[in-house]
Structure 1
Amino acid sequence: MRSRRFTGRLLCAVAAASLALTASQPAMAWGKNGHRIVGEIASQYLSPQAKAAVVEILGSESMAEAANYPDFMRASGDPFWEEQVYPWHWVTVPKGETYDEVGPPEEGDAVTGIAYFSDILRDPDASLSDKQGALRYIIHAVGDLAQPLHNGNGTDRGGNQRQVNWFGKPTNLHSVWDSLMIEDQQLSYSEYAKLLEERLTPEEMREWANPHPKAWVAEGTALRDTIYPEGDDLSYTYIFAHKAQMEGQLQRGGLRLAAYLNALYAPE
């Protein structure tokens, strides 16, 4: 995505800012299966207008397949995806504060990134390639914000610096939530998405299908502060305590993504 629309907005000092950010911010989101689960669930709840728009933009590419594109592009050599979009995978809200009180940093965050790419999807003059990248990012970023540690507190890179042992092997809390708890279930992304979708109640679908990113951040920061363990050795007890929360966030991510796209493509 090297169109004039993007390169014209590329920050001159973004490379240096990106390097500085890595010292204090999270680097990854859900693992591949987590993002695919969110995309797969969302695909089941699109309005006819949103579904038609997704097919027009992505063609035969599923939302589950598109969900990991922004992480994939971070190794592309394209400075837009490697540098400018890098900090648009998370938000930072210190404990006891709200997103509105803190506001986005100068380089932007997931909330401003979603708004940026939504403008591209609304632009009738944007190219198909630009719209493909924009839609793939939104699919990914809504999943990012459903991962509670992507609502970082600004002190430990979203749990990346919180070292723990997972069944005796050293890792960090961010990785536990990214992938280790999901992979512990030993299900494919499609199996897990189907299972989680079938568990949704009508009440949950109404309550969780919220199209407003700042509301997602408020819920994510509240959950984030409850998942830090007291000790360093995590295994079955931690899974028992937090599995329902992790699965609920995957469900919320899917419903939120569908709700956001349904609102974006709602008839005027």
Structure 2
Amino acid sequence: MQRTFASIVTGGLLALAVPAQAWGPTGHRVTATIAEHEISGRTRAEIAGIIGGESLAEASTFPDEERSNPDEFWQRTASPWHYVTLPDGTRAIDIEHPAEGDALTALEQFTAVLRDENASPEDRQLALRFVVHLVSDLHMPLHAGQPGDRGGNDVRVDWFGQQTNLHWVWDEGMILRQQLSFSEYAERLEGRLTPGKVLAWWTPTPATWIDESVALREELYPAYGPELGMGTLEAPVRLGYDYNWQWAPTVEHRLLQSGVRLAAYLDWVFAES
């Protein structure tokens, strides 16, 4: 099924080098849990008709879990569908999409399949899981990456004594420091959700999410670079309490926003079906 779908979407085009997954499983499940509480009754019924009793939290991590699948679809075709690449100062409407596609083109293609009632049940299930996943991906600032460092994967850091990279710090590092399950974290963040925030954030427009991520991305890099002798395997940037204090609130803000936007997007998808 994946091979058939891949040929429809990409015509067998090849993938680029793969960055780390966005948010990690906890972050994706937080986003999906918040969305599941905000979607309309109609959307809930449409989703149940596609994936049955599977929760959105379960669906949200499927595209990352399958990246260990040796099938060519997961190893080559789908690899570049988790991120977009924009130089500093570029807006989403100006993205030059690569031939193999990216997160935005994949979201558009999977949305079309999700709306197609003549598509096979298997393809609609795959499409729903990717849509849930990709909306969250696009809210992680380093998945709207700048050219040249693979979304911060090439920026080496020392995170509380752990040798890793800047991308992982945003994927999982700051989230894991909370030591909360995804359901506990979702409940905490939902306690901050007000009607005004829902109304302000209720936009099913991916370009908006991407532009927000780029604006954040341009601020979150620590001082590093060859001229400073930092950010390499031999001399990682030391990040700890100060960086976590500065940016953990932004991580939580983006998780909460992505939950609301996922609900908005799914309501839009099925309202327009």
Q: TM-score range by the shorter chain?
A: over 0.9
Report if the CA contact (8 A) 1:3-1:130 is conserved.
no
Q: 1:266 aligned to 246, 257, 271, which one?
A: 271
Query: Of 245, 250, 256, which aligns to 1:251?
Result: 256
Matching of residue 193 in structure 1 with residue 186 in structure 2: yes
1:13–1:106 distance in 2 versus 1, CA, 3 Å: closer
**2:150 partner amino acid:** R
Letter in 2 for 1:97: T
* Separation in 2, partners of 1:184, 1:2: 36
Tell me which amino acid in the other structure corresponds to 2:52: G
**1:123 counterpart letter in structure 2:** D
Deviates more, 1:4-13 or 1:175-184: 4-13
> Following the alignment from structure 1 to structure 2, what is the Cα–Cα distance between the partners of residues 33 and 42?
14
The verdict on how the C-alpha distance between 1:92 and 1:61 changes in structure 2, with shifts beyond 3 A counting, is: same
Q: TM-score normalized by structure 1?
A: 0.93
- Structure 2 match to 1:53: 46
Give runs of aligned pairs for residues 67-216 of structure 1, distance below 5 A. Answer: 67-216=60-209
| CA distance 1:155–1:267, shift in 2 (3 Å) | closer
Question: TM-score with structure 2 length normalisation?
Answer: 0.91
Shift of 1:79: 2.0
Kindly provide the CA deviation profile for residues 110-168 of structure 1, in whole angstroms up to 9, marking residues without a partner as x.
Answer: 11101100111111111111111100001111111111100001121000001111012
Q: 8 Å contact 1:152–1:158 — kept in the other structure?
A: yes
The alignment of Structure 1 onto Structure 2 pairs a total of residues equal to 261
CA distance in 1, matches of 2:246, 2:239: 11
Contact 2:12/2:77 (CA < 8 Å) preserved in 1?
Answer: no
Out of 217, 222, 228, which is 1:229 matched to? 222
Cα distance, 1:183 vs. partner? 0.4
The reply on whether 1:35 has 2:40 as its aligned counterpart is no
Asked whether the 8 Å contact 1:90–1:151 carries over to 2, the reply is yes
CA distance in 1, matches of 2:193, 2:87: 31
Q: Does the 8 Å contact 1:91/1:152 carry over to 2?
A: yes
Cα distance in structure 2, aligned partners of 1:267 and 1:144: 23
Q: Quote the offset at 1:190 in angstroms.
A: 0.2
Structure 2 CA distance for partners of 1:96 and 1:109, relative to 1, 3 Å = same
SS of alignment partner, residue 233 of structure 1: strand
**Structure 2 segments unaligned to the other structure (5+ residues):** 225-236
Return the alpha-carbon distance in structure 1 between the equivalents of residues 117 and 12 of structure 2.
28
Matched, 1:242 2:243: no
Distance 2:170 2:132 in 1: 19
**Aligned-residue offset at 1:13:** 4.6
Distance change (3 Å), C-alpha of 1:8 and 1:145: closer
CA distance in 2, matches of 1:169, 1:4: 42
Q: Which residue identity lines up with residue 237 of structure 1 in the other structure?
A: D
* Residue of 37, 43, 59 corresponding to 1:44: 37
For residues 46-73 of structure 1, the C-alpha deviation after alignment (integer angstroms, 9 at most, x for no partner) is 0111111111111111000111101111
Is the contact made by 1:26 and 1:152 (CA closer than 8 Å) also made in structure 2? no
Deviation at 1:27, TM superposition (A): 3.3
Identify the residue that residue 228 of structure 2 maps to in structure 1: none
The answer on whether the counterparts of 1:10 and 1:80 sit within 8 Å (CA) in structure 2 is no
Three-state SS of the structure 1 residue aligned to 2:219 is coil
Identify if the C-alpha distance between structure 1 residues 53 and 165 changes in structure 2 by more than 3 Å, giving closer, same or farther: same
Equivalent AA in structure 2 for residue 11 of structure 1 = G
Matched letter for residue 94 of structure 2: E
Q: Distance in 2 between matches of 1:191 and 1:107?
A: 38
Question: What do you get for the CA RMSD once the two structures are aligned?
Answer: 1.6
SS of residue matched to 1:124? coil
